[in-house]
Structure 1
Amino acid sequence: MNWSKEKAARFDQQIAAEEAKRWKRAWITTTVAGLLLLVLIFFLLRMMRGDSEFYLKQARQELQAANNSDEVTLKLEHAAKARDAANRSLQLDTTSPAANLLLAASLAIRQDDPNFRIEETQMLIDAKSKLAIKDCKTLDLWQAGVAFFYSGDNQLADEALTEAFSRNELRAEILNTLIQVRYDRASENSVLELSQELAKLEPDNCLPWIATAYVYEDRQALEQLVTTYRELLKRNCEGQDMTRWKLVERLIEIGSVSEAETEWNLLNEKSPEFAKTRPSTNAKLLYLQGKNEETRILVDEILSADPDDLDAIQLRGQLYLANDKATDAMAYFRRLIELDPTHPQAHYLLGQAYSKAGMREEAKQELALHERLLNELVQLHAMERNAAADSNNAQIRLAIAQKYEELGLHKIAEYWLQQANAISRQ
């Protein structure tokens, strides 16, 4: 055998195998290096262009800061930063529903800026037209809802917060704003229902009881108001003096003399200076207790200081009526109506005075107006809230004017008609 030739062949094979391995290693190394280079280029380009999620996070932070700020200038500054971040995020991801929502919300706040630009107005219109509320996160919907509410866009605020609320996340946080939105939109039954839930979630929170009080005040639901004011007093909410005074007033109206006296004495004890500013309440309590002479003296003092004090004028008329001086009583009740045409109690009392004077037809008309006012005022208050929330709505003002015209309250009707016409001319 030729061992030398075989050994040479084996050696050549080994060299070939080693060469193949070297080329394979070189190919793998080159491929990996190429991939790493591509990844590096990708990240470098991304860093140069920016990260959509990074800007989205920044927009969320700035919008939340804007919502939490009570100082207008600071609120507008944060809103501007939120706008820029949301807009940058949209440039990197044009299909992002979150970025579009945050852009619309930040621009809504920025409308209060005197330097709000024309291009921002168009940007806001475009962003609102592309809203995809159902595709947004609950946190974003909540913050956007707060922003829309602040800017006066209660419809969008309601849409965003209602969708967020349906998901059973952040319920207490969402309710705190949603209740206010629903009140401004005159959804009073919804306000009462949502307030009950919030009161259970946050027992020490004053807002649900304040909102409930607003609804019952609009409805003149006296018994419910008494209960609601007591709940507010339990929680030591702001405005304790005012709340206790309102409680006294409602107790007087429902004829709970003993309870009214107790609360009045408490008000005098805790806040004597505040009580001094409410002499009419003291006069009404004295009248309810049958202390007519003391009432008369106090009413004289009040009218001497303020001839247009509504409560004192009413009490003066009631004192005359109690002494069978119907004609004198009529003059004061007419004065009361002149100062406050929507005062339902004044029309009732004037009807009583007419009846005592034997003027049955006049009495019938005033008592009928009294009933109509009681029924219509709840709706009118809701309509007026809608008008206050939408300063450019001429139609709601025309509807209010028509309502007052139907009630025969022509001066108030003319006021609302003038407002509607002024908006239409803009």
Structure 2
Amino acid sequence: MTTTLLRIATAGSVDDGKSTLVGRLLHDAKAILADSLDDIARTSAERGFGGSDGSLDLALVTDGLRAEREQGITIDVAYRYFSTDKRSFILADCPGHVQYTRNTVTGASTADAAIVLVDARNGVLEQTRRHLGVLALLRVPQLVIAVNKMDLIDWDEAAFSQIESEVLVLAEELGLQSTTVIPVSALQGDNIVEPSATANWYAGPTLLGLLEDLAPVQPQGTARLDVQYVLRPQGALAPGLDPEEYRDYRGYAGTLVDGTLDVGDTVQVLSNGHPVSTRIKAISTPAGAAPQAQAGEAIVVELENDLDIARGDTLVAGELPGIQREFQANICVLDPVQLSKGQRVLIKHGTKVAAAKLADINYVIDVADYSHQQAQNLGLNDLGRITVRSSAAVAIDEYSVSRTGGSFLLIDPASGRTLAAGIIEAEHAAA
């Protein structure tokens, strides 16, 4: 049976029970191996869990590092993979602490959906607004609000309705269109995989049921192949091969981004900012020759014309992206540095790496209230808008159209460290 893949990111304020919710989801979906369960049971017993009811500290499912266990905190993005009969999931569990905004950005940047926890006792907090602001900035297409610890307020329907109303208004203001709010108890398992026997007033889906039924996000952008390698003949001629064809072979390898590519399609080769038209002669995949390639496949293409193509060039079938040397973008600083106007960096966009300069720091984004503040520098975990000037033309897309074509990294040219991650989008009120 073929299943679709859904990428999920989770976020929440400190002590909202996010790690317990993720653990409950994986445990009740039978996605934890027996030896891992044994380890969790032993550690749970050390922490005072267990006893006659055999209860587990399900937060240990994601708090897998010993250092994290000893401190009682989650400090990095933890990835988990699991499947049900309906689909497969990749889950990125992001930390809730405000100083780890960069991890939320990392986990949510590829997510098809995000789960944000709200403590039913506390309602919408500043950190909740921060998470929603980051998710809006990253254009995460589908949002699930899990109102957790409902058992601690005796499943008060009025309290849940108040939180639901506030969250939906906030999500609409931020442009998060597809938002579902679910009352849950991660500790007891209510509405995680099985419906709650207590909240008879709630008739909506369980968390897992909703995730299984969410429509997969379809790529919207034009088919593009960022050339990773240029393949040339190597070694002696194999028996049966035509010597002329062997010497003339040129294959361009990369991963197809968005759309589909067919043998015979007309493509534009973007090299140094100047598009040149040609046609696809052949497509190869790990399984052999193919008439068509789908988005996400690693392929090698041959072209009808002999062109000067190198790593970092782009092949596009359809509408051309913008080819620019200077553009504005939103970034999140990932390294403990201060980025300032005039700073020299490397920009990595697709497979292209080019020297660049921060032409301007336009503003820093306060994700607590989504306001824009003037700034001379951007530091670790800051979200801000900058103007980038590249030494080479970059084939950029809007991030809302193509996550790959609309994203990039800034790299320290001396150390090679990743300084910031960026997305290319027009200005929005919430960005």
Confirm or deny a common fold (TM above 0.5): no
Q: RCO greater where, 1 or 2, for CA within 8 Å and sep 6 or more?
A: 2
Looking at secondary structure, tell me which structure has more helix per residue: 1
Q: TM-score, normalised by structure 1?
A: 0.21
Looking at secondary structure, tell me which structure has more strand per residue: 2
Q: TM-score, normalised by structure 2?
A: 0.21
